Amino acid sequence: MSRFVRASKYRHVFGQPAKKEHGFDNLKVTSSAWDTNVVSASGNYISVNWNSSGGGAFAILPAPSPFSGAPGIPFKLPDIVPLARSHTAPVLDTDWSPHSDSIVASGGEDGNVMIWQVEASAFEDWNTDGWVPRDFGPVLRIAASPRKVGQVLWHPAAQHVLASAVGDHTVKLWDLGAPESPRAVLGGHADTIQSLAFNPTGQLLVTTSRDRKLRLFDPRVGGEAVRVGEGHGGIKGARVVWMGDRDRIATTGFSRMSDRQVCVWETGALKSVKTLTLDQSAGVVMPFWSDNNILFLAGKGDGNIRYYEYESDNLYALDEHKSSDPQRGMCFVPRRVVNTSECEIARAYKLTTSAIEPIAFIVPRKSDSFQSDIFPPASSIEPSLSAGEFFSGKAVSLKFVSLETGTVSTASAAAAPVLVPTRSTTAPAPQPAFAPSLSPVVPPPITRMSSEPTPVSASASASASSLAYAPTPASPADMRLPPSRSASTHVSDDQRAATTATSAALQEDNERLNAELREAREQIRNLELKVEGLRANARRAATLLDN
């Protein structure tokens, strides 16, 4: 056993379940066997697939805080609660818009996609004398397929763009401003689509399927996958999540021997770079990614939540939140709404057979000040571009919000903030991360460098500063009198300030070089993916000509 302990600021993160009265009880959770998370959350509300008669429905409830609950809403829900009713068959999946905490999409076995908007007044006077539940109605209906709609997923950057996985083994992308027909149809799946995920810019979409394949699409290039790779060996439920703005995805699934696995894949060739075997339980594992470089894994039918820190293509186990109550489903809230004063880096809602339990994942800190090292900027609620701009091929500039000040900033996809994990003595230095992008940008000439930009050490910076700010030798006349104590202290302070300024300037240059390198790599990847798409279209054209 190594005597070195891997350095990490998340080593002591723990899951703190809320008090019982801060959750909800007496829920009538759907009995459908379809594999989705069953529950979804925005910054203000949660939705739960409901077991209702006479068609499909789901419940919409205020999102309870793990520290204070949901004000005005009783812990034990009444037997009759307001439901979102309009589907004629069970609701299979819901997803909240990343650009509005009050808009939710749903998909059901009736083949319809519906959009709902929640008014805050819907929860006034709940469960008081004379209170009458009023069901929600959809603001938009889309006949997506003659077969079921298994998953719905909002675009992370473009407003009013929604993806739906339908029963004919395709993914359809919709512009809600013109929902008469899908703007893109992504095919090639030989069996049921089990999950899908966008990268942070929404320019790439990855799917897992029952045919045991991973497929990577550029929705704006064409309907065929630009990458296809072998996934997990088992046919049971496989899930996928994009690992932030890196060119990495994480999947969970089963081996041919029914072992539960988690894998990390490189998106350039869809090759596995890391595989971990978890256990031999039968429940599907639900993966969730946090921009703190933490991958959460929650198994259906388990009571536990594992979490790992990602560093240099390795997954290092941090801890495990254990519970005796098995979960039917789970979801995480957007990171922009976590409670920074409690050092809460992530918040989950655990759904059991009849209850919802909030869980806060906390990094213990003694200081009451804002902890900038564990709270990088989060994705903003403001959209980065419109649906029309996205489908016309406009480049994406992501918007981020500071969790300390609430200010919104814009960054290009290549320069999006990346929280670099702490380097340890047992792991190699992490390489600069970048986000694959497919914007039609011609890369500038790239000068080949002998090596990647190397961060300048503090000692080197100090040495350079000392040389740059060395004091001028004193004249012989001045040497006759020793300098006063106050004067020497003043000079020392000036040197120290100059050294600090020089170190900061060197650090800024280092970050700029890393950003330029990431941008150059991204542009190269753009061209590779475009060439791959053109080749796929050429093969299809050749096939049609041969026939």
pLDDT digits (tens, 9 = 90+) for 19-71: 999 999 999 999 999 999 999 999 999 999 999 887 899 999 999 999 999 98
Q: One-letter amino acid identity for 251? A: T
Residue-wise burial string across 424-443, b where 16 or more C-beta atoms lie within 10 A, e elsewhere: beebeebebbbbbbbbeeee
Specify the pLDDT at position 547.
Answer: 66
What's the confidence (pLDDT) of residue 165?
97
H or E stretch covering 210: none
* Beta strand 14-17 pairing with 355-362: antiparallel
pLDDT < 50 positions in the chain: 1, 413-491
Query: In whole angstroms, what is the distance from residue 293 CA to residue 472 CA?
Result: 48
pLDDT computed for residue 411 by the predictor = 76
Spatial separation of the C-alpha atoms in residues 124 and 384, rounded to whole Å: 33
The rounded distance, in Å, linking the Cα atoms of 386 and 381 is 13
The pLDDT tens digits for 311-359 are 999 999 999 999 999 999 999 999 999 999 999 999 999 999 999 999 9
Nearest to residue 221, comparing CAs of 166, 182, 184, 179?
Answer: 184
Predicted confidence (pLDDT) per residue in 446-493, tens digit: 333 333 444 434 333 333 333 333 333 433 333 333 444 433 344 456
Report CA 251 to chain centroid distance, whole Å: 13
